[in-house]
Structure 1
Amino acid sequence: MMSKPTADTPDAPAVESAGASAGKPVFAERWRAFRAGIEHRPTLNLGYRIAVGVIGGLVLLVGIITIPYPGPGWALVFAGFGILATEFVWAHHTLTWVRGKYRIVMGWYTSRGWTIKVLGAVATFALVVVTLWLLGTFSLVAGWIGVDWPWLRSPLMS
């Protein structure tokens, strides 16, 4: 009868988890197990997918709104699609497509001379100013300091 190899014997197989041997972090294994547990409960799975959809949708919406402003606009767009892509195949395909288009546009933009870069910066600045004016930000801030100039008032927020 053959004896079972132990950790002391040279024939003992290395004791590793499947994820660790593949170089994946333990967190990914735990997350997959957690998600598999949710998938077996239809009501919980639906609630989870709805929560992911709402949270991902909100992050995506905030990202789209903040694209023209200095800050994390595009990062939030990609984060929103990333959240949605964890549960929805269409979001995964869209994320892949948007990422590719973003890389193409940014590659084109960065390969241009300083004239195009300056025009891009001026256009971005103009878009930010017009958006802030339309949202009534200038008249709000002017009201704080006691300035009442008619041209600061937004035509949309009157």
Structure 2
Amino acid sequence: MATAGDSRTGSESAEEPGWRDRIRARPGGRLTLRVVVGVLGGAMIIGGLILVPFPGPGWLIVFAGLAVLATEFTWASRLLDFAKRRVRAATDWLQRQNWFVRVVAGLLTLACAAVIVWLALKLTTGFDLLAQARDLLG
């Protein structure tokens, strides 16, 4: 993975600058590149966070946005490394647990996602899934 200090790919020779180095060499290029990467990475993170409660790749988009930011910003690279370590530790812990703990963890995750979807629908569209279910059943 490219980091904030490295803009070369493995296929380029040591003498040939990478495309980011060529952009940085122009007047105002370094600032422009940082702004573009910051806006793109920030938009990806915000979009991913919006998508987290819904089915789909919400967290994947958040981590991808963080990886985009990490190409220009050292703090984002450190945050991405920290997040990867935390996710790996939680995954390793869950894998060591018996099936009951895994099922409970899955059900809690599903319940949290259901509450977030219910709240999102109720607060944004006024559609109450629980009231509709009560009306259908009774």
Matches within 5 A, 1:8-47: 24-26=10-12, 32-47=17-32
Higher gyration radius (CA): 1
**Equivalent residue of 1:136, what SS?**
helix
Alpha-carbon separation, structure 2, partners of 1:39 and 1:121: 47
**Equivalent residue of 1:135, what SS?**
helix
| CA deviation string 1:98-135 (max 9, x = no partner) | 11111001100111111111111111111121111111
* Number of equivalences: 122
Give, in angstroms, the shift of residue 95 of structure 1.
0.7
Give, in angstroms, the shift of residue 149 of structure 1.
7.7
Asked which structure has the greater RCO (Cα within 8 Å, sep 6+), the reply is: 2
Task: Tell me the TM-score normalized by structure 1.
Answer: 0.64
Q: Is the 8 A contact 2:54 2:117 kept in 1?
A: no
**Change in CA separation of 1:58 and 1:73 when aligned onto 2, cut-off 3 Å:** same
Structure 1 unaligned segments of length 5 or more: list them: 1-22, 143-147, 153-158
Alpha-carbon separation, structure 2, partners of 1:59 and 1:41: 27
Matching residue of 1:117: 102
Structure 2 unaligned segments of length 5 or more: list them: 1-8, 133-138
**Change in CA separation of 1:103 and 1:149 when aligned onto 2, cut-off 3 Å:** closer
Identity of aligned residues (%): 35
Matching residue of 1:80: 65
Alpha-carbon separation, structure 2, partners of 1:109 and 1:88: 32
Task: Tell me the TM-score normalized by structure 2.
Answer: 0.72
**Change in CA separation of 1:150 and 1:125 when aligned onto 2, cut-off 3 Å:** closer
Matches within 5 A, 1:1-158: 24-26=10-12, 32-136=17-121, 151-152=131-132
Alpha-carbon separation, structure 1, partners of 2:84 and 2:36: 24
Q: Is the 8 A contact 1:85 1:92 kept in 2?
A: yes
